[in-house]
């Protein structure tokens, strides 16, 4: 992503939001985070049901990206039938906390729109 062009800034980021946006930039990532925040240790199929509309392919790739970004943890129990559980990492929890004010803004906005359509 780009940067606001000011002296003293080294790499391509300045305000920190763009860094965060890279992590939550996927179409469904905030919803996945939210689902894992409501209750840790969700299973794959459970997430698929909780985020209706998402396809298995995209859920899988989003989860792998979020794992690579260090915000979710994948634990695979070697059983049959397979069982895999996803949970937020410490960093993922902090990310979710950081998203809460944004969620509050969205909720408030939704309220306002409902009252004045």
Partner DNA sequence: CTGCTCGCTCACCTCAGGGTAACTCCCCAC
Partner DNA sequence: GTGGGGAGTTACCCTGAGGTGAGCGAGCAG
Question: 3, 27, 100, 103: which one contacts DNA (CB under 7 A)?
Answer: 27
Question: 23, 50, 58, 93: which one contacts DNA (CB under 7 A)?
Answer: 58
Q: Is 60 in the site for DNA (CB under 7 A)?
A: yes
Q: CA 60 → CA 44, 48, 72, distances in Å?
A: 8, 10, 12
CB of 74 to DNA, least distance (A): 7
Q: Is 60 in the site for its own copies (CB under 8 A)?
A: no
Task: Please name the residues in contact with 107: beta carbons below 8 A apart, sequence gap of 6 or more.
Answer: none
Task: Reduce the DSSP state of residue 17 to 3 states and report it.
Answer: helix
> If we measure between CA atoms, which residue out of 17, 32, 98 comes closest to residue 65?
32
Cα torsion at 56, 101, 75, 55 (round to 10°)? 0
The residue among 82 and 111 lying less far from its own copies, judged by its C-beta, is 111
Which segments of 12-89 does DSSP mark as H helices, in order?
A: 17-24, 29-38, 44-50, 56-68
Q: Is 117 in the site for DNA (CB under 7 A)?
A: no
Q: Which stretch binds DNA (CB under 7 A): 8-16, 74-82, 91-99, 107-115?
A: 74-82
Interaction site with its own copies (CB under 8 A)? 1-5, 13-21, 23, 27-28, 30-31, 34-35, 38, 49-54, 91, 94-95, 97-110
């Amino acid at each position: 992503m780009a940067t606001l062009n000011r002296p003293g800034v080294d790499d391509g980021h300045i305000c920190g939001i763009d860094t965060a946006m890279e992590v939550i930039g996927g179409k469904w990532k905030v919803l996945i985070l939210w689902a894992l925040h409501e209750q840790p240790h969700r299973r794959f199929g459970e997430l698929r049901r909780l985020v209706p509309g998402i396809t298995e392919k995209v859920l899988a790739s989003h989860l792998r990206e979020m794992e690579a970004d260090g915000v979710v943890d994948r634990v695979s129990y070697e059983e049959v039938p397979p069982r895999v559980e996803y949970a937020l990492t410490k960093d993922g929890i902090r990310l979710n906390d950081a998203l809460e004010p944004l969620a509050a803004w969205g909720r408030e906005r939704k309220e306002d729109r409902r009252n004045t359509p």
